[in-house]
Chains A and B, each alone.
Chain A
Amino acid sequence: MGKVSLQTARANQILLDAILTPEKLPSLPPADWDLLIRVARRVRLLGRLEADLSNSGLLGMIPAKAAEHLRAARHVIEHRRTLVTWEVNRLLWALKGTDAPIILLKGAAYMVAGLPPAPGRLYADVDLLVPEERVAGIEEKLVSKGWFKMEIDPYDDRYYRVWMHEIPPLRHRERGTEIDIHHRILPRTSRLKPDPALLFEAALPLADPRLRILAPADLVLHCVVHLFLEGDPTEGLRFRDLLDLHLLLGHYGQAPGFWEGVVPRACRLGLARPLYYGLRFTQHFFATGIPQTVQDEINRLRPVWPIRALMDFLVPLAILPGHPDHPNRLASLARWLLYIRAHWLKMPPVMLVRHLSYKAYLRFRGINKKVDLAQLDLRQQ
């Protein structure tokens, strides 16, 4: 193996070991801690490590400097949790009198329902799923109560409204948190078309009855959809999402009826393929306990051999972060290919070409997300 692949393998192994066996972290050598902190930061798992170590009372047994980084991550996560909790509270206030069913998705749902992925998870935005015919009313109501539509260029606005599964994000005038309102879990143009009505039918009330959460099988399926069909060309697949999936399966797998129902539900929603990949790769990385019957059931729905072999090659490359100082070109290629694949499944070919060329044109024009130091006020970060 060359230097890059050795370093990639070392970084990935340190990360996997830390997530799988956090109880062994106190014996990790300092040089490995240095790398672990960098790699875990990249895949947004610093908070998870902190939560694992703190639960087992081991935080005091790791190098002081590593503990500082973990503590810093915990402070940010607690702060984000406060913001998201407050945003949900304000949302309910603003929507008082609306009888539209509101389903919380992803991080906010895990948090409010107290599911196992919640501890140490970084919360970004509040994601909601509401029936399509209620979107306009809800958006209008929020705008009248202090949220505003974020300014985006006309292309992106059209992209959202015509093709996507969500509307452009809303942001409150005084608070930074974004609200993403979805009306389905995949774009309108997607080849996979899970019917949102089925999701609403099965959704369950949360402790606060004005809010709902997807039924267990649907929640798991949304997690795999998010993992395999959304992403970014440089970040690739999110390892964090795969860990969420593993934790959700471990949790719901205890409940009677979950395993019997999950594959039929995936078929009903047209999501058998992403579920196949989700189960395959959680088992590969985390040895998730999946009953043999379920494995046999899903294996009957697996893709043909060459595609399977290709995905088995690409996914581990793309989902693990590698070493920050030794970028791995093959991994970058894998991330890019999986990004194209996700778009391929979400858009008809002509539209895909048009969309990706427009985005490439923007990059060529140098419009990107980097910070200009001139505009930078450190206090805003």
Chain B
Amino acid sequence: MRLGSLSRQVFEKSLAGEGLAIELGPFIVNIKTNISSLLPVAYPLYCAYPLASPSAMVDFHIRLAHRQGLRHWVKPQSVFFLDGRTPFVPSSLEHAFPALEWGINWCIATRAHHLLMLHSAVVERNGNAILFPAWPGHGKSTLCTALVFSGWRLLSDEFGLVRPEDGLLLPIPRLIPLKNESIDVIRNFRPEAVIGPSFLKTRKGTVAHVIPPEDSILRSQETAKPRWLIFPRWVAGAPLSLEPIPKSQAFLMVATNAFNYEVLDQTAFRLVTDMVKACDCHSLVYSDLSEAVAAIDALTRSTDG
């Protein structure tokens, strides 16, 4: 059952009561909140996401609540609870939604150590995936958004989740947070993409969330095999370049930019080695999104299969 099949009233009542358990790829997140301003934002953005079956075990129990006390009257804030504890400083009430999104990522990054978590966007076509490991600000979310609205399936814009048992990539097609200029870039690139409200002056500037294509959300249990590693970097005005890079370099770039490479130790070494061996490795410098999408299309068609 999808969240959108609940009426707004049931949605609100569940959130305020026992919470709503939503399936986000391999994770089930139960969210409770009494912050009513969150509901009109969250409902349309999460409409397409599947609800977990009532008997399913929940991975993260999250509650978002108003901060109590006198401050509430001066500067209302929201507090993020994970298992009854408050790991973060409270955020302003207007930023409750981006704070929730961030908090969920934090839960995954700090707890899901049964998987190797690469810091990477991942998209798939015909069962073959491209990983885009990149540092913040290198334009991985923007490029990934452009690709998933150009025929690729979204696995994730942030987490390359590798299953240690078979080295396959698990999808976690979350809302894609676009920052600052990227929001208009995507609006111009694909006017039909549904983008939520812009949150101004968050800690990362202006943030707005794109809903992934429905197909990506529906297929969120379908794994993919790593086939290409492309290290993207957006540079203003730069001519497009998509060049092969040595596998040794690719290995280092993947291993040093993971969430939990050290935690998985030998397993991580083996997984990244296998991945780099199985992938064609390229570096991409781009300034124009359409050119980058076309170049990736050409590259993957020439080597696909």
CB under 8 Å from chain A, chain B span 80-119: 83-89, 91, 99, 102-103, 105-106, 109-114, 119
| B215 interface residue per 8 A CB criterion | no
| B59 interface residue per 8 A CB criterion | yes
Q: Within the assembled complex, what's the spacing in Å between the Cα atoms of A75 and B267?
A: 10
A72 with B112: in contact, given A33-B57, A34-B57, A65-B57 (CB under 8 Å)?
yes
Q: Within the assembled complex, what's the spacing in Å between the Cα atoms of A68 and B114?
A: 6
| B259 interface residue per 8 A CB criterion | yes
| B263 interface residue per 8 A CB criterion | yes
Task: State whether A65 touches B59 (Cβ < 8 A).
Answer: yes
| B55 interface residue per 8 A CB criterion | yes
Q: What 1/0 mask marks residues of chain A from 67 to 86 whose CB sits below 8 Å from any chain B CB? A: 01101110110110010000
Given A38-B61, A379-B258, 9 further pairs, Cβ under 8 A: A30-B56, A31-B55, A65-B28, A75-B114, A76-B263, A325-B61, A371-B87, A374-B203, A379-B259
Of A33, A65, A71, A75, most buried by chain B (CB within 10 Å of CB) is A75
| A152 interface residue per 8 A CB criterion | no
Chain A residue contacts of B83, Cβ below 8 A: 38, 41-42, 324
Chain B residue contacts of A63, Cβ below 8 A: 57
CB distance from B57 to the nearest CB of A (A): 4
| B240 interface residue per 8 A CB criterion | no
A-B contact pairs, 6 of them (CB 8 A): A33-B57, A34-B58, A75-B263, A79-B263, A373-B203, A374-B203
| B166 interface residue per 8 A CB criterion | no
CB distance from B127 to the nearest CB of A (A): 24
Task: State whether A66 touches B88 (Cβ < 8 A).
Answer: no
Task: State whether B114 touches A69 (Cβ < 8 A).
Answer: yes
Main secondary structure of the interface of A (DSSP, over half): helix
Among A75, A370, A379, the residue within 8 A (CB) of B119 is: A379
Chain A residue contacts of B259, Cβ below 8 A: 378-379, 381
Chain B residue contacts of A34, Cβ below 8 A: 57-58
Task: State whether B84 touches A370 (Cβ < 8 A).
Answer: no
| A296 interface residue per 8 A CB criterion | no
| B264 interface residue per 8 A CB criterion | yes
Task: State whether B55 touches A76 (Cβ < 8 A).
Answer: no
Q: What 1/0 mask marks residues of chain A from 338 to 381 whose CB sits below 8 Å from any chain B CB? A: 00000000000000000000000000000000111110101101
Closest to B159 in A: A378
CB distance from B28 to the nearest CB of A (A): 8
| A137 interface residue per 8 A CB criterion | no
Among B89, B105, B203, B257, the residue within 8 A (CB) of A370 is: B89
Chain A residue contacts of B84, Cβ below 8 A: 324-325, 327
CB under 8 Å from chain A, chain B span 219-248: none
Task: State whether A72 touches B57 (Cβ < 8 A).
Answer: no
Q: Within the assembled complex, what's the spacing in Å between the Cα atoms of A182 and B105?
A: 38
Task: State whether A373 touches B102 (Cβ < 8 A).
Answer: yes
CB distance from B246 to the nearest CB of A (A): 24
Chain A residue contacts of B102, Cβ below 8 A: 373
Chain B residue contacts of A41, Cβ below 8 A: 83
| B192 interface residue per 8 A CB criterion | no
Chain A residue contacts of B267, Cβ below 8 A: 75
Chain B contributes a number of interface residues (CB within 8 A of A) equal to 38
CB distance from B56 to the nearest CB of A (A): 8
Q: Within the assembled complex, what's the spacing in Å between the Cα atoms of A148 and B175?
A: 42
Size range of the chain A interface in the assembly: 20 to 34
| B274 interface residue per 8 A CB criterion | no
Task: State whether A71 touches B263 (Cβ < 8 A).
Answer: no
Task: State whether A72 touches B111 (Cβ < 8 A).
Answer: yes
CB under 8 Å from chain A, chain B span 32-58: 55-58
Task: State whether A30 touches B88 (Cβ < 8 A).
Answer: no
Closest to A379 in B: B259
Closest to B95 in A: A373
Q: Within the assembled complex, what's the spacing in Å between the Cα atoms of A33 and B28?
A: 14
Chain B residue contacts of A372, Cβ below 8 A: 88-89
Task: State whether A381 touches B262 (Cβ < 8 A).
Answer: no
Task: State whether B114 touches A72 (Cβ < 8 A).
Answer: yes
CB under 8 Å from chain B, chain A span 23-81: 30-31, 33-34, 37-38, 41-42, 63, 65-66, 68-69, 71-73, 75-76, 78-79
Q: Within the assembled complex, what's the spacing in Å between the Cα atoms of A260 and B27?
A: 53
Task: State whether B91 touches A30 (Cβ < 8 A).
Answer: no
Task: State whether A324 touches B114 (Cβ < 8 A).
Answer: no
Chain B residue contacts of A42, Cβ below 8 A: 83
Q: Within the assembled complex, what's the spacing in Å between the Cα atoms of A101 and B114?
A: 40
Q: Within the assembled complex, what's the spacing in Å between the Cα atoms of A255 and B263?
A: 37
Q: Within the assembled complex, what's the spacing in Å between the Cα atoms of A101 and B259?
A: 39
Chain A residue contacts of B61, Cβ below 8 A: 38, 324-325
Closest to A71 in B: B114
Closest to A375 in B: B203
Task: State whether B87 touches A370 (Cβ < 8 A).
Answer: yes
Chain A residue contacts of B56, Cβ below 8 A: 30, 65
A30 with B87: in contact, given A75-B113, A75-B114, A373-B203 (CB under 8 Å)?
no
CB distance from A302 to the nearest CB of B (A): 35
Task: State whether A78 touches B265 (Cβ < 8 A).
Answer: yes
CB under 8 Å from chain B, chain A span 71-127: 71-73, 75-76, 78-79, 82
Chain B residue contacts of A376, Cβ below 8 A: 106
Q: Within the assembled complex, what's the spacing in Å between the Cα atoms of A381 and B105?
A: 12
Among B99, B106, B119, B265, the residue within 8 A (CB) of A79 is: B265
Task: State whether B89 touches A381 (Cβ < 8 A).
Answer: no
CB under 8 Å from chain A, chain B span 170-203: 203
